[in-house]
Structure 1
Amino acid sequence: MNRDMRIPQNKGAKGDTRGAARPAHSWAANVGPGLVTIASDNDPSGIATYTLAGAWYGFDLLWVCVLTYPSTVALQLIAARVAAITGRGLTANMREHYSPLFFYFAVARFLIANAFNIAVDILAMAIALRVFIGGSTMWLALVSGAASIVLQWRIGYVQYARVLKWLTLAMFAYVGVIVLVDVPWHTVALRSFIPRVMWDEDYMSMLIAVLGTTVSPYLLFAQAEQEAREARCGAAAQQEATDRKMGRERIDVLLRTVLSNAVAIGVMIAAAATMHVMQHVPVGADAQLARALEPLAHGYARHVLALALLGSALLTLPPLAGSAAQAVASSFEWERGERRDGRIAAVLVGIMLIGVAGAMLLAALQIDAARALYWSALVNGMTVTPVLVLLVLLSSKREAVGDLAAHWTLRALSWLATIATAAALSAHFVLEFF
């Protein structure tokens, strides 16, 4: 339930509106890191990870999506508050308040994770296209990436999302599956609120992956950049107006996160109810992932999954690339204006091209698509802790968050998420090496 993104027209020194003829510059500089739809909160990496979590561990990981809800909301509110108060995104604030070592480490982590996420999402698009038209996955990855770049360059996101969001209706097929199959709801309720943790390396890997795609780092940066842009547009607003806006933002975050986590829970329940009986289903590209949809779609399960992958990937790629481009801009302290917009647009295209090359390499090496999507979530989960630490520490600085510095509830919830990801990572390290 994300609000539509408002795209300001870039203006030259004389106040003209020539920037309107260059939607890529406007999109890359201002809207790329903005809020996205529920579908992009659950991108192909998320769909694959939640499906495999349900297939391998049944209902045992439902608690992650339920119990992390308060912390996820708290982290997004802190990110939004930092941007609204300072008029700058997270990367700019981290550069100001932390040593270069920590800042550049966080930015490098963010760029690497986003580039890999872009690559696997493009690979997912290629797999989806192959379901409908056949052909080489490698060349379909090239076509998919090129199409995404052209769409970002030529079309504003509001028009872009207005059409593509209908593809993501395929995600609601998981709800249909839940209605049709026998679901042990008492077990679902129990596992949603009472964690069942196994001292097992594979379980810890899956836990880290689910955490990585549930507490999505790029959405925190996207949230902050959107708020920063709006804060700069209304720089003359009084504090009271800012507080009212943050009140609306709070409601938006609460509802959006509920719906996003509900989709994730639906995917996991559907996979657990249909695939878990097979016990540790081997990762097997689109055919394996589509099995969760067979009770509803039967022979068209792969086609329904392909539509969900296409829609969610196309909606996720712009904010992934846009937020990464903004991080680069903040790192080099580029001054705002048309020159900066052009540089960000160039960086966005460069990041997308790296993603396309990565997707083609994965296809050429015949890396299983579902496995690559799962790896992307795992990379996010394994590298998110330092970013969360910096964000929570930033929330204690009054110059960055204003009165929110005294709001111990949000800070406690954010620390809880940070500690949980760190604990899962530590447990995985111990199980793997000792």
Structure 2
Amino acid sequence: MSYTVYNSHQFMQNEKKTKKKRKKKEVEYLFAQSAKALDKSVGAAIKGGRVVARAAPMRRAGEYWEKLGPGLTTGAADNDPSGIATYSQAGAQFGTQLIWTTLFTFPFMALVQEQAARIGIVSGKGLAANIRHHYSQKTLITITVLLFSANTLNIAADLNAMSAGARLLIPWLSMETLTIFFALVSLLLQIFTSYARYSKYLKYLTLALLSYVITALSIHLNWTEVIQHTLIPSISFTKEQIFLLAAIFGTTISPYMFFWQTSQEVEEHVLKGETTIKIRQHMVNKTEIRDMRTDVWSGMFFSNMVAFFIFAAAAGVLYTHGITVATAADAAQALRPFAGNFAYLLFALGIIGTGLLAIPVIGGSSAYAVAESFGWRYGLYRKLKQAYAFYGVIIISMVIGVVANFFHLDPIKGLIYAAVANGLVAPIILFFIAHISHDKKVMGKYRSGMLSTSFMWTTIVIMTLSGIAAVTTLFL
């Protein structure tokens, strides 16, 4: 009996202890849940923070990429095969002595393109249309003829360079076959592809220029010397160097860039549904101007950065080993024994890629100028049937460029003279850009300020002196 009572008492005690433990666990559980919730929240916050930290830069990069357009493609197109050949020759012939030009020309180049873009956005019209409206028809036709001539020579030189570059990779095809092929590809894409798709194609094609950055970085260079000559200008004033300097200025600040930039700004607005000049003029705002400036300065920086690396690669390999080159293809071939197959391949592919980017831009700028000069229908947003004359200019300039290559013109003369021709035409067009961009009647509150105008006139003086010097050297 007592045993039973004891067991019952012990059982009760155990039950009480169990209940206490259970209550403790329940209380612990309740408090633990809040702590666990906090722990999970902190963990999620940390994890989310990491995701956001990764996503935010990507998002910002995406937003930045979206802002890039005409400025980027125009800047990249400036490094066409003709430009690559000019920089390669300068690097091969004078080492890093003239590499300072890539830094020196950047602010002038960017400012000129910004003014051209500003004219397009604010006026709602292309550059030639603006010149036609404010100056005489004879003046405009003279400018257009000069531009068309320089551009056609440039197209011929670029087609030659592209074909030579392609033959490094597929030597069994003739120069003539490749020239026709590249001309047809450029024409078909430009004429039969919608502007929305075509502009994206050009934008992504700019990435081909990174091949020159990679090429230079894969080569052992004396970076101390490179940086020194970049920051401290050096010039010997020899006939060869003056002529090459003029070619560098001409290929960097090229007339076709002015017309293309202005007209592309208009095309971008048409793409947004702003189909009339009045609507485009009405829709201008400060945000748009700011985004344009980001696009243009980024594009020009990218252009000059690539030129810098082409210079560096040519100087580091070709000049060091006493190798002179005539074309961009020669530069690629000369790099092979010293820099390896990788650098050779990248350089050759870069020539083709930049040509596919630049030739439509050059031909298109001629078409814009001619069509606007005569008041024709124009625009890449229009289909072929809607702008026969506009597309006809592109076709004719391309045909002349192809035919010129069948006469087996000297490639080095073609490339360099194309650059010098650009340098001679540029000051004339820059004069009109300076006047229009500062004209309050045209630009209103968005006209260029005194600092911008001063830079514009400085650019005109530099380009004029450069052109005169180049012509003078031909007779010495």
Question: Is the shorter-chain TM-score for this pair beyond 0.5, marking a shared fold?
Answer: yes
What is the CA deviation profile of residues 270-320 of structure 1, one whole-angstrom value per residue up to 9, with x for unaligned ones? Answer: 111111134471425623443246544x24554433311221111222222
After superposition, the CA RMSD in angstroms is: 3.1
Change (3 A) 1:115 1:143: same
Deviates more, 1:148-157 or 1:203-212: 148-157
- Note if contact 2:71-2:298 (Cα within 8 Å) is conserved in structure 1: no
- The aligned counterpart of 2:97 is 60
Residue 404 of structure 1 and its aligned partner are, at CA, apart by 4.3
- Note if contact 1:122-1:313 (Cα within 8 Å) is conserved in structure 2: yes
Is 1:411 the counterpart of 2:467? The answer is no
Within 5 A, what are the aligned runs for 1:323-342?
Answer: 323-334=365-376, 342=385
Change (3 A) 1:252 1:79: same
- The aligned counterpart of 1:23 is none
Change (3 A) 1:92 1:319: same
Within 5 A, what are the aligned runs for 1:119-138?
Answer: 119-133=156-170, 134-138=172-176
Is 1:143 the counterpart of 2:181? The answer is yes
Instruction: State how far apart, in whole Å, the 2-side matches of 1:107 and 1:304 are.
Output: 36
- Note if contact 1:129-1:140 (Cα within 8 Å) is conserved in structure 2: yes
Residue 68 of structure 1 and its aligned partner are, at CA, apart by 1.6
- Note if contact 2:92-2:322 (Cα within 8 Å) is conserved in structure 1: yes
Deviates more, 1:367-376 or 1:89-98: 367-376
Query: Any gaps of 5 or more consecutive residues in structure 1?
Result: 7-32
- Note if contact 2:122-2:443 (Cα within 8 Å) is conserved in structure 1: yes
Question: Partner letter of residue 168 of structure 2?
Answer: V
What TM-score results when the alignment is normalised by the length of structure 1?
A: 0.82
> 82, 95, 98: which one pairs with 2:119?
82
Change (3 A) 1:410 1:352: same
Q: How many equivalent residue pairs?
A: 406
What is the CA deviation profile of residues 1-30 of structure 1, one whole-angstrom value per residue up to 9, with x for unaligned ones? Answer: 875899xxxxxxxxxxxxxxxxxxxxxxxx
Instruction: State how far apart, in whole Å, the 2-side matches of 1:336 and 1:158 are.
Output: 16
> 247, 251, 254: which one pairs with 1:213?
251
Question: Partner letter of residue 356 of structure 2?
Answer: L
Identity score, percent: 30
- Note if contact 1:152-1:318 (Cα within 8 Å) is conserved in structure 2: yes
Deviates more, 1:247-256 or 1:152-161: 152-161
Instruction: State how far apart, in whole Å, the 2-side matches of 1:192 and 1:35 are.
Output: 23
Question: Partner letter of residue 324 of structure 2?
Answer: V
Deviates more, 1:156-165 or 1:141-150: 156-165
- Note if contact 1:75-1:414 (Cα within 8 Å) is conserved in structure 2: yes
Give secondary structure in 2 for the equivalent of 1:399: helix
Within 5 A, what are the aligned runs for 1:219-298?
Answer: 219-230=257-268, 233-234=273-274, 235-236=278-279, 241-279=284-322, 281-283=324-326, 286-292=329-335, 295-296=338-339, 298=340
Instruction: State how far apart, in whole Å, the 1-side matches of 2:121 and 2:72 are.
Output: 14
Give secondary structure in 2 for the equivalent of 1:62: coil
What TM-score results when the alignment is normalised by the length of structure 2?
A: 0.76
Is 1:400 the counterpart of 2:442? The answer is yes
Residue 425 of structure 1 and its aligned partner are, at CA, apart by 2.0
- Note if contact 1:129-1:306 (Cα within 8 Å) is conserved in structure 2: yes
Change (3 A) 1:410 1:366: same
Change (3 A) 1:398 1:35: same
- The aligned counterpart of 2:361 is 319
Q: Which has the higher contact order (CA 8 A, sep 6+)?
A: 1
Change (3 A) 1:4 1:343: farther
Question: Partner letter of residue 51 of structure 1?
Answer: S
Question: Partner letter of residue 314 of structure 2?
Answer: A
Change (3 A) 1:48 1:239: same
> 427, 433, 443: which one pairs with 1:385?
427
Give secondary structure in 2 for the equivalent of 1:55: helix
Give secondary structure in 1 for the equivalent of 2:73: coil
Is 1:46 the counterpart of 2:89? The answer is no
Question: Partner letter of residue 193 of structure 2?
Answer: I
Question: Partner letter of residue 305 of structure 2?
Answer: A
Residue 407 of structure 1 and its aligned partner are, at CA, apart by 0.4
Change (3 A) 1:222 1:166: closer
Query: Any gaps of 5 or more consecutive residues in structure 2?
Result: 1-63
Change (3 A) 1:247 1:315: same
Change (3 A) 1:4 1:311: farther
Deviates more, 1:249-258 or 1:278-287: 278-287
- The aligned counterpart of 1:22 is none
Residue 132 of structure 1 and its aligned partner are, at CA, apart by 3.0
